[in-house]
A and B are shown apart, each in its own frame.
Chain A
Amino acid sequence: MKQALFNPFIKYAGTKALAFGLLFISISWLFATLCNARFDGIVDLHFYDKVSWLQPMLDQFIGLLIMVLVFYLIALVLGSKPRLIDLAGTFAYSRLAFLLAPLLNISGLISNLTNQLKTLDPSHPVLPFSNVQLILLMLLSLATLTLVVWLVALYFKAWKTCSNLKGNKLVFSFIAGLLIVEVITVFLTRNFIA
């Protein structure tokens, strides 16, 4: 079970992982459309008042495409020769971590709390929340953070399995790659997908 959640790539890669990944992306797309969520960045999840049905799908496909290309180039530079299908499959499978994440905003839960925060008067900085809302906000933040950590852990395992790099080379190439992908995807999804 632990392996299935944190290192599934020992068993799944290539087309099999890609099939699972596309299934995860499709399910999270459905939830994201229902809950007004966008994946505008490779490790991002943001909630809006209104999201079009196409945006969450395009966000994920652009993210996946950029991620595969950037990490493939990094692998080539570092002398590793991963298969593109393995990179695409394992990175797509990693989206498992965000499968249910959009549901955190069910009935506009997070959007409403965020909108309440926006009404905060800087001259009278008193949180406009009841105790219950405050606890709810903390729990939602904790859940989001856990899912992001899980997502990054899966991306790391995917990169490790596909590249077979070790030590510092593995860690620094992953950090650099993720930063590059994040910058590109945030730029593209927030500027060109409306």
Chain B
Amino acid sequence: MTVQKILPVTCPSCAGRMKVQRLHCNNCDTSIEGAFELPVLNHLNAEELDFVLQFVKTSGSIKDISSQLGFSYPTVRNMLDDLIKKITQTEKELKAKK
């Protein structure tokens, strides 16, 4: 049985944002080290990321997502608004670090 590993994006010790320090190619065994920032979408949790995927798959139709999830239109609209706020905030924080 394969265990699905979840990419940790916040530090379990101080709750700060994590960076990628090492990347490895399984094909040629090459490794690269550095401090790579995670893409903005990787800062979302699994539930939020799933919502983004559904949103893209339904061509951004809130009506389609609401019927798929069984939620009302304003509930889905609120989920989207909260997500937009979170992404905007993350972008700001990442820019401020640069």
Give the interface of A toward B (CB within 8 A).
9-14, 16-17, 82-83, 86, 90, 161-162, 164
Contacts and interface: CB of A to CB of B under 8 A. Distances in A.
A13 B74 contact: yes
B82 to A, nearest CB: 8
The majority secondary structure among interface residues of chain B is helix
B81 A17 contact: no
A11 B81 contact: no
A contact face: mostly helix, strand, loop, or mixed: helix
B19 interface: no
B70 A9 contact: no
Interface residues on B, range: 10 to 19
Contacts of B81: 164
Contacts, number: 37
Interface of B: 70-75, 77-78, 81-82
Contacts of A14: 72-74
Given A10-B72, A12-B72, A13-B73, 17 more contacts: A9-B74, A9-B75, A10-B75, A11-B71, A11-B72, A11-B75, A13-B75, A14-B72, A14-B74, A16-B72, A86-B72, A86-B74, A90-B74, A161-B74, A164-B74, A164-B81, A164-B82
Most A CB within 10 A of own CB, among B71, B73, B78: B73
Contact of A82 (B71, B74, B75, B82): B74
Contact of A11 (B70, B78, B82): B70
Contacts of A161: 72, 74-75, 78
Would you list the 3 A-B pairs with minimal beta carbon distance, nearest first? A13-B72, A164-B78, A86-B74
A12 B71 CA distance: 7
A176 to B, nearest CB: 21
Contacts of B78: 161, 164
24 contacts: A9-B72, A9-B74, A9-B75, A10-B71, A11-B70, A11-B71, A11-B72, A11-B75, A12-B72, A13-B72, A13-B74, A14-B73, A14-B74, A16-B72, A82-B74, A83-B74, A86-B72, A86-B74, A90-B74, A161-B74, A161-B78, A164-B74, A164-B81, A164-B82
